[in-house]
Each structure stands twice: as structure tokens, then as C-alpha cells.
């Protein structure tokens, strides 16, 4: 993202955003509520058009609906009451590639099976999605993105409301995906997890305040104070010292 501005409802939500995520890198995007994290992901997907600047994927400008990027939305954005099985829910991740009328071929079903295996839900492939727990639902959303077999993966708050075993499973998966050569960008409110698992951190509050390795940023309290609008006595800074 190169000097990207985004306006929504006549209000500037993002200003002069600059961020590069390389292949093989897991980047955590941190910031307060309303900082523009989800807007940034949706703009990177081509779902929102920037008012200024450009978004480039491997040298090619992002185009709405034509960008091969895996996206994991927040859980409430998916219709869990829809009467389909787990496997068919994962297959919906390929709708943009297959089209609405084309039947999935063998390669598509193999991609779905591989994605379910990676999130350890193969045994639930035929179960109705409305019967899933919160952690299982989150893993289904990850599998939908993985089925696309994209070189770029965007994750919007993937750890929200999950128990520790599921968080660890997904953390290990995201690290592994980056090590396979994917570029992974993840928004999260889980500060400790981001500092331990991410290769790099980007602090956002309508613009990118700072980027760097977790070790580098943890030793720079002023950038956190500026990003989250907190004082030097904030519990957030005490967490940084502990990590």
C-alpha cells in the first residue's frame, strides 16, 4: 500500500497509509478500535476504492473482485444459519474463482480437503455449520481462505473469543503459512500473541505510526502511546515490558 487514503461517508478513515508485506512474512496490524484496521484489509482486497494512492500485488494493481487474496473475516460476517455442510462452506471460498454457476471440479474439492486437513476439521466435513462451536467456526473461515491457495492471506481478528488450544493451533498454522512463502497480514487485539508470533508489527491509527520487529517496537513506548492514545502509566506499556 503506497500513500493510500480512504474516505467513508465523507470522512477520511485512512490517510497516507504505507505498508509492504513480503512473502514469507507474518505481520501483525495493531491499533485501537476505529483505527481503520478492517477498512485497510477491505481496501487491500479491492472491496473499497482508495481516494488516493495505490495498492500493488506482485507489481500489479489490485482490482476489485480479481485479486487472488485469501481473506478471513470476523466470525459475525458469515451466515452461520445457512443450511450447508462444513465442506460446502469451505467451498464458498472458491466462488470468485469458479463463478456462481460452475460446478466444482476434482481440483476444487481436493483444495477443500487439504484446507480442512490443515485446520484439523476433516472429520467434520459433512456436519451442518450451524452445529459448530465458536472455535470450529473460526477454523472454517481460515479453511475457506486456504482453499483459494493464495500467496497472500489477510486475517481480521482471527483469535477473538477463542480458547487457548485453538489460538495455539491457528498461531502455529499462520507461522507455517508464512514459512511456506505466503505474505500474511493479521489484525489483532491480542498484543502478547502478536509480539510472540509475528515477524513484524505495524501500528495503525488512521495512518501507519510505526513498523518494526516486536523486539524493536517493544522498546519504543512513545509509538504505542501515540497509536493508542495512552499515558506512560498505561497497563499496555507494562505488558510490553513483561513481554
pLDDT tens digit sequence for 30-54: 999 999 999 999 999 888 999 999 9
- Residue-level pLDDT at 37: 96
Residue 118: pLDDT above 60? yes
* % of the chain exceeding 70 in pLDDT: 95
Confidence of residue 101 (pLDDT cuts 50, 70, 90): low
- Residue-level pLDDT at 103: 78
Measured CA to CA, the distance from residue 74 to residue 230 in angstroms comes to: 26
Decide: helix, strand or coil at residue 8: strand
Average pLDDT over residues 104-133: 92
Measured CA to CA, the distance from residue 219 to residue 195 in angstroms comes to: 12
- Residue-level pLDDT at 62: 77
- Residue-level pLDDT at 66: 59
DSSP state of 189: S
Average pLDDT over residues 7-34: 95
- Residue-level pLDDT at 64: 59
Reading the block at residue 135, the C-alpha cell is 472455535
Give the CA diameter of the chain: 58
CA dist 110 to 91, 106, 113, 117, Å? 10, 6, 5, 11
Burial class (CB in 10 A: 0-12, 13-18, 19+), 31: buried
Ordered by where they begin, the domains of the chain are 1-68+187-243 (3.40.50.300)
Reading the block at residue 17, the C-alpha cell is 497509509
Measured CA to CA, the distance from residue 226 to residue 115 in angstroms comes to: 39
Higher confidence at residue 9 or residue 37? 37
Amino acid at each position: 500500500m503506497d500513500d493510500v487514503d480512504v474516505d467513508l461517508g465523507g470522512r477520511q478513515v485512512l490517510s497516507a497509509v504505507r505498508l509492504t508485506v513480503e512473502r514469507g512474512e507474518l505481520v501483525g496490524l495493531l491499533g485501537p478500535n476505529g483505527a481503520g484496521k478492517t477498512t485497510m484489509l477491505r481496501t487491500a482486497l479491492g472491496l473499497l476504492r482508495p481516494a488516493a494512492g495505490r495498492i500493488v500485488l506482485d507489481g500489479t494493481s489490485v482490482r476489485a473482485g480479481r485479486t487472488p487474496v485469501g481473506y478471513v473475516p470476523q466470525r459475525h460476517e458469515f451466515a452461520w444459519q445457512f443450511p450447508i455442510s462444513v465442506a460446502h462452506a469451505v467451498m464458498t471460498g472458491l466462488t470468485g474463482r469458479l463463478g456462481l454457476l460452475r460446478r466444482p471440479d476434482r481440483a476444487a474439492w481436493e483444495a477443500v480437503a487439504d484446507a480442512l486437513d490443515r485446520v484439523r476439521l476433516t472429520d467434520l466435513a459433512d456436519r451442518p455449520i450451524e452445529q459448530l462451536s465458536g472455535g470450529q467456526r473460526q477454523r472454517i473461515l481460515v479453511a475457506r481462505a486456504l482453499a483459494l491457495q493464495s500467496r497472500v492471506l489477510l486475517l481480521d481478528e482471527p483469535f477473538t473469543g477463542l480458547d487457548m488450544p485453538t489460538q495455539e493451533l491457528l498461531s502455529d498454522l499462520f507461522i507455517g503459512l508464512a514459512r511456506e512463502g505466503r505474505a500474511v497480514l493479521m489484525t489483532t487485539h491480542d498484543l502478547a500473541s502478536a509480539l510472540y508470533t509475528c515477524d513484524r508489527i505495524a501500528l495503525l491509527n488512521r495512518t501507519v505510526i510505526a513498523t518494526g520487529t516486536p523486539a524493536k517496537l517493544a522498546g519504543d513506548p512513545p509509538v504505542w502511546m501515540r497509536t493508542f492514545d495512552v499515558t506512560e502509566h498505561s497497563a499496555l506499556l507494562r505488558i510490553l515490558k513483561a513481554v
